[in-house]
Amino acid sequence: MVAWLVGAFFVTALLYASVGFGGGSTYSALLALSGLDYRVLPLVSLSCNIVVVAGSSVRFARAGVTPWRGALLLTGLAAPAAFLGGLTPIGESAFLTLLGASLVLTGLFLLLPKRISGGAEGEPTALARLMPLAAAPLGYLAGLVGIGGGIFLAPLLHLTRWAEARSVAATAALFILVNSLFGLVGQVLKGGSGRFAAAIEVGLPLLVAVAIGGQIGSWLAVKHLPPAWIRWATAGLTLWVGGRLLLG
């Protein structure tokens, strides 16, 4: 395992954990740029997602900010689709195109001004009731390319004022965690034991890196490191990596 990849995973986990996400799409992109077999990428990146967001989900639950009824509805609709996405065969070209596009959209979402992406308080808009319709497509994409889907769900929840900001963050964390688990199961069943063994060989040092980076990222967020700096750095990383994939 080359040192730059371990370092890149550490930085990615630190940045994404600071803004409440897992970083799965960026993990997959970094692995793709390293030349790893694209069929192994989702196994590693979904596992890293789980490590990063599991702690966040527990902290939100203990703090009593998780809106369980709504969060479980969205997650319950997305999880079976994430499993199906994990089972779906996909060619390398289509996989890398979807992954690159996901990263570019992620970066653009992170660059949204705070008054939009930070969540306006007040009564939910009429579109808030339609959020369950977005859950399954996001879950399918999550399982297919090895992301959690929360990076797309959270801005939609904020824009429709589905809930207050901390509840949206808690929902996104749970969404990422469960989708990653179901997507990982689908990917394992699709790839078989040989591909799973290859993912373990590659992934162990990376899992350690994201576990440490994720904890530091959470600590930085708690210590009130300027959130705009974190978001811009995360957006810059995702846009650069996504652009590299799309431009070849």
Report pLDDT digits (tens) over 41-92: 889 999 999 998 888 888 888 888 899 999 999 999 999 999 999 999 999 8
Handedness of CA 62, 68, 71, 76 (dihedral sign): positive
Report pLDDT digits (tens) over 118-143: 444 567 888 888 999 999 999 998 88
Contacts of residue 17, Cβ cutoff 8 Å, sequence gap at least 6: 23, 52, 56, 213, 214, 215, 216, 217, 218, 221
d(CA 176, CA 21): 8
pTM, to two decimals: 0.84
Asked if pLDDT for residue 116 goes beyond 90, the answer is: no
* Across 231-237, average pLDDT: 76
Q: Would you put residue 64 in left (φ > 0), alpha (ψ -120 to 50) or beta?
A: left
d(CA 239, CA 26): 10
pLDDT value of position 224: 58
Report pLDDT digits (tens) over 168-201: 888 988 999 999 999 999 999 998 878 888 888 8
* Across 218-242, average pLDDT: 71
Asked if pLDDT for residue 110 goes beyond 80, the answer is: no
Q: Which two tokens stand for residue 243?
A: 């652009």
Q: Where are the domains of the chain?
A: 3-247
Neighbours of 226 (CB within 10 A): 8
pLDDT value of position 24: 83
**Mean pLDDT in the chain?**
84
Asked if pLDDT for residue 237 goes beyond 60, the answer is: yes
pLDDT value of position 120: 46
Determine phi and psi for 91, rounding to 5 degrees: -75, 160
Asked if pLDDT for residue 222 goes beyond 60, the answer is: no
pLDDT > 90: percent of the chain: 28
Q: Which two tokens stand for residue 109?
A: 């979402």
d(CA 120, CA 161): 6
pLDDT > 70: percent of the chain: 90
pLDDT value of position 227: 61
